[in-house]
A = this chain, B = another copy of it.
Amino acid sequence: VPTPFGNPAAGVSPPARAQRADAATNRARILGAADEVFGEGGPAASTEEVARRAGVGIATVFRHFPAKADLLDEVLARRFERLRERAGELAGAAEPGPALFGMFTEMVSDAPGKIAIADALVDAGGDTGDSSRVAQAAGELQQAVGVLLARAQAAGAVRADVELPELYALLAGMSRAAAHGPRDPAVWGRALGVVFDGLRGPG
């Protein structure tokens, strides 16, 4: 509700304001802890461990997120949103080719945690359908990556006949492979290098 003073907290008594600030801090800590805990443990990780790592009681977690799926939905959507923001930053880069390849590399690095959280969300009965918040955030990321691709192509850094669906198939492939077991980072670097050479095109 807007107030005559333009500050939504202006009509709130100081103790209530402090309580609200505490609640926001707790919520942020819970989300940060959940990102780590489910990113590492996937469906096997527990909300209790999230509470422990956030330094709050389990009741506080449930007050903010009544169901495990609510928490995971928020965590996963935020992952996509962070990546979309990163893509937005890179859309202003002076060199569109390295910007696209940098984004690709970041998305693959992010993938093991993201896939673990997505598996936990599915396991918790969360909504991942086409109209879910997660699907919407994923769609917005894909659009932002499409902008990077178009810029890289306009700059002649990526072959003109590559389209977003195959770029995403390559991203999904490298992401899924990265999520399955640790591997030598040097091997990954060379594998990505092959993909990027392919994207640059023959000759």
Contact = CB atoms under 8 A, between A and B. Distances in A.
A91 B193 CA distance: 26
A196 B198 CA distance: 7
Nearest to A183: B169
A24 interface: no
A8 interface: no
Given A165-B184, A200-B202, A202-B197, A191 B170 contact: yes
Contacts of A178: 173
Interface string A177-192: 1111001100110110
Contact of A202 (B177, B184, B188, B203): B203
A169 B177 contact: yes
Q: Most B CB atoms within 10 A — which of A179, A187, A203?
A: A187
Contact of A180 (B172, B190, B199, B201): B172
A77 interface: no
Contacts of A183: 165, 169
B166 A191 contact: yes
A163 interface: yes
A144 interface: no
Instruction: List 8 tightest A-B contacts by C-beta distance, closest first.
Output: A198-B198, A176-B176, A173-B177, A173-B173, A194-B198, A169-B191, A197-B198, A166-B190
Given A166-B187, A170-B194, A200-B202, 11 more contacts: A163-B190, A166-B194, A172-B177, A173-B174, A173-B176, A194-B198, A195-B198, A196-B198, A197-B197, A197-B198, A198-B199
13 contacts: A162-B194, A163-B190, A165-B183, A165-B184, A169-B177, A169-B187, A170-B173, A170-B194, A172-B180, A173-B177, A175-B177, A177-B177, A202-B203
